[in-house]
């Protein structure tokens, strides 16, 4: 009888212990989930380089940031994920770069947390959050931006964990996107499919060189991408769109029966910026930009793919931001300042809408400092984040 009672007592103790462990685990998960879902504020830098940067940061924090400090691709919710209310890996990388440039440790830590909780799956960076049917797809250009920022931030903030994360993700990128010689544009981890192309604007040689110094498998990739970028400029001064390694040829434009080029000026300047940082001549692109600034005082969003000349229609904040960074990198300070000045002029200013209808005036006041169309309320993350980065790197718009 005593033995039976003792056995029953032990069983009861075991069951009670298991229940306590289960309850403790559930409480921990609830607390963890609450912490993830609790809105946090985008951490501002210790100082701002200019009033324009400060206004833009406050606009971005108030109107573009998610509760977890991601940046929505658009102010408006939209069915198109790349133009709607999702958060993409591109924005995480740009904010990490801004955090590094502004020595903003709190912002850096926020973005690392967001990256780990919402984008990283094993050693793979999904390109979008919330999850979609495409959440098993990555983007090598965005991954490289993130990885480079993690490595740079690790040095500035003495954060060894960020460095380890960057190198782990870099090895994961090799496993999914590389054949040992090339780093392809994207990979679908679930379908085990890889893009056939290597876009020229993905040639982030600065990031690849850092990885080649740390991971030997990146050496041939860095060498191939550098060679590709050195040869990518066409006779009209624009960069080729993409290369097909298996065919050993560039993507062709069937209408022109020539090598295809991007008509997006932001993409062209991004490519030039990567080239300039790698010591590859960008004289033709910089001359085109300088000539346009001298002749019209402006830069434009699109370019004619045949002549290489910019089309005088739409201005883009991102174009001015990227051009400012290109001129800063090439030590052409006066041209960088001209771009930064125009960048500040394009920000929403309530004073510019004094004669507008009442509802438009109210919206101008509400969205002061941002890059937003007060009539349609369209505002894109790329414009805000590239401009923040340019204002920081350019050091304001004073000579």
Beta bridge mates, 244? 249
87 phi/psi in degrees, rounded to 5: -115, 130
Q: What pLDDT sits at residue 342?
A: 98
Which distant-in-sequence residues (6+ apart) come within 8 Å of 154 by Cβ?
Answer: 160, 161, 162, 163, 166
Q: Structure tokens of 213?
A: 């110094």
Q: 3-state class of 130 per DSSP?
A: coil
Percentage of residues of the chain with pLDDT beyond 70 = 87
Nearest to 187 by CA among 196, 118, 202: 196
Give residue 81's pLDDT.
52
Local confidence band at 40 (pLDDT 50, 70, 90 cut-offs): confident
First CA to last CA across the chain, in angstroms?
A: 94
pTM of the predicted protein model: 0.89
Does residue 70 have a pLDDT over 70? yes
What average pLDDT does this structure show over 183-206?
97
Mean pLDDT over all residues of the chain? 92
* The predicted structure's pLDDT at residue 39: 72
pLDDT at residue 134 is higher than 60: no
- Whether residue 244 has pLDDT greater than 70: yes
Domains of the chain in sequence order:
39-394 (1.50.10.10)
- d(CA 339, CA 293) in angstroms, rounded, equals 8
- Which residue shows structure tokens 């919710």? 77
Q: What is the pLDDT of residue 31?
A: 47
Contact present, 112 and 167 (Cβ < 8 Å): no
**Residue 35 — pLDDT band, cuts 50, 70, 90?**
very low
pLDDT grade for 392, boundaries at 50, 70 and 90: very high
């Amino acid at each position: 009888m005593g033995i039976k009672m003792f056995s029953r007592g032990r069983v009861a103790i075991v069951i009670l212990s298991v229940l306590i462990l289960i309850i403790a685990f559930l409480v921990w998960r609830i607390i963890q989930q609450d912490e993830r879902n609790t809105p946090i504020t985008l951490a501002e830098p210790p100082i701002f380089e200019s009033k324009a940067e400060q206004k833009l940061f406050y606009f971005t924090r108030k109107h573009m940031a998610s509760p977890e400090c991601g940046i929505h691709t658009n102010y408006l919710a939209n069915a198109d994920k790349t133009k709607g209310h999702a958060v993409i890996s591109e924005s995480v990388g740009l904010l990490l770069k801004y955090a590094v440039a502004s020595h903003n440790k709190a912002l850096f830590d926020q973005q690392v947390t967001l990256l780990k909780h919402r984008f990283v799956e094993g050693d793979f960076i999904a390109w979008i959050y919330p999850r979609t049917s495409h959440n098993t797809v990555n983007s090598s250009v965005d991954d490289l931006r993130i990885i480079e920022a993690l490595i740079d931030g690790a040095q500035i903030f003495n954060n060894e964990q960020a460095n380890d994360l960057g190198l782990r993700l870099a090895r994961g990128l090799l496993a999914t996107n590389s054949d040992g010689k090339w780093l392809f544009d994207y990979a679908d981890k679930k379908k085990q499919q890889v893009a056939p192309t290597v876009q020229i604007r993905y040639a982030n040689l600065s990031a690849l060189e850092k990885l080649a110094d740390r991971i030997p498998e990146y050496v041939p990739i860095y060498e191939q991408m550098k060679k590709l970028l050195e040869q990518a400029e066409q006779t009209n001064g624009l960069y080729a769109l993409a290369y097909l390694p298996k065919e050993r040829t560039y993507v062709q434009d069937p209408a022109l029966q020539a090598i295809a080029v991007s008509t997006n000026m932001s993409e062209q300047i991004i490519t030039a910026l990567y080239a300039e940082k790698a010591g590859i001549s960008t004289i033709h692109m910089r001359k085109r930009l300088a000539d346009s600034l001298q002749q019209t005082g402006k830069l434009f969003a699109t370019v004619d793919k045949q002549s290489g000349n910019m089309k005088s229609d739409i201005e883009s904040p991102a174009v001015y931001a990227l051009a400012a960074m290109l001129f800063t990198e090439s030590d052409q300070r006066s041209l960088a300042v001209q771009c930064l000045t125009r960048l500040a002029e394009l920000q929403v200013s309530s004073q510019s809408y004094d004669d507008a209808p009442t509802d438009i005036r109210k919206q101008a006041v509400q969205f002061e400092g941002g890059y937003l169309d007060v009539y349609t309320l369209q505002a894109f993350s790329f414009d805000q984040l590239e401009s923040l980065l340019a204002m920081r790197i350019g050091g304001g718009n004073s000579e």
